[in-house]
Amino acid sequence: MKLIIGNKAYSSWSLRGWLACKQSGLPFEEVVVPLYDEEWDKRREGDEFAPSSGKVPILWDGDAVVWDSLAIVEYLADKVGRARFWPEDEAARAMARSMAAEMHSSFAALRRKHSMNIRQIFPAKRPDDDVLADLSRIMELWAQARARFGSGGDFLFGEFGAADIMFAPVCTRIVTYSLPAPRFAAAYISAVLSHPFMQDWIAGAQAEDWVLGQFEQPAA
């Protein structure tokens, strides 16, 4: 398999696709392309980028191509078995799937105003109300998952899985922008950031020397 991703410092959807590949346990070749560099417009018109219309992540597996982070999770879960990604318990799985889908479709204010930047930590500043509303909803979801289904480990549904993969860039954003988080959430964030896959990604981000000014500002 070949996974095409953007900068590890900035590309949150790439992080999700990459974590899914790691979680699958399958070998894969990783190709990192610098987002928005001078070759970007030309590169994204190439055949390898055509299925996603130029967005990353894109997973190529022989003739099969999957180009959206949540679809990559589901494709790999089909390939290696659901248990690596989703809880066994039906009620837990229903909630995990709903949370992953909500992460994929929602929280636009948090995503837009606090773009992922793995390498920075900005001083705390009162977030906008729409960002606070997103955070409040996320905290409610995390608290419910941890309280109802998290007793088997440090992650949302106990063991590391698809829901954690989808929320991993929220964890990094809370740290980067010193956003408010209750104590239980701080413990969860610490578990996610300490996970060996995340440590591997963070080291990759630190080693990159591409800098994109639009992602290097503290939120307005």
Ligand X SMILES: N[C@@H](CCC(=O)N[C@@H](CS)C(=O)NCC(=O)O)C(=O)O
Nearest to 171 by CA among 147, 217, 202: 202
Shorter beta-carbon distance to ligand X: residue 55 or 114 = 55
Residue 110 C-beta: closest distance to ligand X, Å: 14
Shorter beta-carbon distance to ligand X: residue 124 or 211 = 211
Residue 87 C-beta: closest distance to ligand X, Å: 22
Residue 11 C-beta: closest distance to ligand X, Å: 4
> Which residues make beta-bridge pairs with 30?
3
Shorter beta-carbon distance to ligand X: residue 92 or 166 = 166
Edge-to-edge strand ranges of the sheet holding 58-61: 29-32, 2-5, 58-61, 64-66
Which residues contact ligand X by CB under 6 A? 6, 11-14, 35, 54-57, 68-70
Structure token digits, residue 109:
């204010």
Residue 6 C-beta: closest distance to ligand X, Å: 5
Residues 6 or more apart whose Cβ sits within 8 Å of residue 33: 4, 5, 6, 40, 43, 56
Structure token digits, residue 115:
């773009």
Residue 111 C-beta: closest distance to ligand X, Å: 10
Residue 102 C-beta: closest distance to ligand X, Å: 13
- What are the helix (H) ranges across 50-195? 69-80, 90-105, 108-113, 129-149, 162-176, 183-194
Shorter beta-carbon distance to ligand X: residue 74 or 185 = 74
Place of tokens 């829901």: 163
How wide is the angle at C-alpha 171 spanned by C-alphas 21 and 210, nearest 5°? 70
